[in-house]
């Protein structure tokens, strides 16, 4: 992702607390999304019971009735096309777990005790075992049991390694989200970190499962075109999510860890200028997705072509979901978090 930083942003020196003007994060509420149209994506019609799956798994994990009030299930339904009921359930379970885990780790204060918590969660995920009493502990054990059953050995190994890396990023991410000393990352630092913490690689492993692709069988995991395709798709999704989510993050005090704020800080731009630039970058990444996807299709491997179509569908699904989801809503009656009661 660092490689596709626009030339005008490359090599900018870090700027710290001596910056002449400190940005009021409330400025991030005052913009329109212009020139970024999403295609309407329908939910996967093969699994109309998907929300019931989510409500049941959450209620079982937390020992009380819990509902998907943020409709995270819609993200899954709009991003995966599999008709296979068991695969759909496995995908649904892990994605819900990941959203819940993300929300939980967002709240961890990175003092010594907080860092220890992150390390403990990494160990739980590494082993697939936990004697913890949280709903997340129960979900972790269950989702890994299913992943071992349905993912190939290579997919499972990549999955666990990437989750451990993703969890590890919270050791630095939370410091950037909640920093009060106005220390802002360089563009290179930001995109290096976002490449690790965005979890798109994990989403795409389940795209492999959705269409039945064994990437290692076709030598894809080190293929530069494959890597470039997945990276462009991931960066598109990061840009889209930052464009649509930041207004919901301002009240939570997390608005400083997004691309808009970074651009405003380094370039001295107004929020609207920053978002307009992000829209242009999003269009550029979309062209890369289509280009690299076409190159992969030219390999002549039917299941790989199906994977390309699945990831493109996921990118479109993420975009449309981001425009309508309650999670990113600024309406006070909607919450970013699912209320588990604990």
Residue 333 domain-assigned (yes or no): no
Residue 108 domain-assigned (yes or no): yes
Q: What is the widest separation between alpha-carbon atoms in the chain?
A: 57
pLDDT tens-digit series, residues 273-301: 999 999 999 999 999 999 999 999 999 99
Residue 338 domain-assigned (yes or no): no
Choice among 13-27, 104-118, 131-145, 235-249 with the minimum mean pLDDT: 13-27
- Arithmetic mean of pLDDT over the chain: 91
Query: Residue range 75-85: average pLDDT?
Result: 98
Residue 201 domain-assigned (yes or no): yes
Residue 38 domain-assigned (yes or no): yes
Supply the pLDDT for residue 178.
44
Choice among 5-19, 39-53, 70-84, 275-289 with the minimum mean pLDDT: 5-19
Supply the pLDDT for residue 172.
77
157 pLDDT higher than 70: yes
In the chain, the number of structural domains is 1
Q: Token pair of 146, please?
A: 């299913």
Residue 337 domain-assigned (yes or no): no
Q: Report H helices in the chain.
A: 50-62, 72-79, 85-106, 112-127, 135-150, 153-168, 170-177, 187-197, 200-211, 224-249, 259-267, 271-297, 302-324
Torsion of CA 169, 171, 177, 182, to 10 degrees: -120
Cα distances (angstroms) measured from residue 28 to each of 40, 181, 203, 265, 278: 26, 19, 28, 12, 14
Range of the domain at 267: 2-328
Supply the pLDDT for residue 183.
67
- Cα angle 213, 215, 217; round to 5: 100
> CATH number of the domain that 13 lies in?
1.10.600.10
Split at pLDDT 50, 70, 90, the class of 17 is: very low
pLDDT tens-digit series, residues 118-136: 999 999 999 999 999 999 9
The C-alpha atoms of residue 54 and residue 93 are separated, in whole angstroms, by: 7
Supply the pLDDT for residue 18.
46
Residue 223 domain-assigned (yes or no): yes
The C-alpha atoms of residue 47 and residue 61 are separated, in whole angstroms, by: 22
Check: pTM over 0.85? Answer yes or no: yes
Which three-class secondary structure state does DSSP give residue 224?
helix
Residue 18 domain-assigned (yes or no): yes
């Amino acid at each position: 992702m660092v490689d596709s930083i626009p030339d005008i942003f490359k090599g900018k020196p870090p700027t710290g607390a001596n910056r002449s003007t400190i940005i009021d994060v409330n400025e991030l509420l005052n913009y329109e999304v212009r020139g970024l149209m999403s295609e309407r994506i329908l939910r996967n019609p093969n699994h109309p019971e998907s929300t019931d799956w989510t409500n049941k798994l959450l209620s079982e994990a937390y020992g009380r009735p819990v509902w998907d009030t943020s409709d995270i299930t819609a993200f899954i339904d709009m991003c995966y096309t599999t008709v296979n009921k068991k695969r759909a359930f496995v995908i649904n379970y892990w994605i819900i777990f990941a959203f819940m885990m993300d929300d939980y780790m967002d709240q961890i204060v990175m003092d010594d005790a907080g860092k220890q918590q992150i390390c403990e969660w990494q160990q739980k995920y590494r082993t697939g075992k936990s004697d913890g009493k949280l709903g997340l502990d129960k979900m972790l054990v269950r989702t890994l049991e299913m992943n071992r059953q349905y993912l190939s050995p290579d997919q499972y190994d990549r999955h666990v390694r990437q989750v451990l890396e993703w969890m590890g990023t919270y050791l630095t991410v939370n410091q950037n989200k909640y920093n009060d000393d106005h220390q802002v990352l360089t563009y290179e630092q930001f995109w290096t970190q976002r490449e690790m913490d965005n979890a798109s690689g994990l989403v795409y492993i389940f795209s492999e499962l959705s269409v039945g692709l064994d990437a290692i069988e076709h030598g894809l995991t080190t293929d530069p075109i494959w890597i470039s395709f997945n990276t462009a798709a991931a960066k598109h999704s990061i840009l889209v999510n930052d464009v649509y989510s930041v207004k919901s993050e301002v009240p939570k005090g997390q608005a400083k860890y997004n691309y808009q704020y970074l651009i405003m800080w380094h370039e001295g731009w107004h929020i609207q200028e920053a978002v307009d630039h992000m829209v242009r970058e999003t269009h550029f990444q979309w062209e890369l997705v289509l280009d690299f996807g076409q190159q992969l299709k030219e390999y002549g491997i039917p299941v790989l072509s199906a994977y390309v179509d699945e990831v493109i569908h996921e990118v479109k699904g993420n975009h449309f979901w981001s425009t309508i989801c309650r999670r990113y809503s600024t309406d006070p009656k909607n919450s970013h978090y699912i209320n588990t009661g604990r």
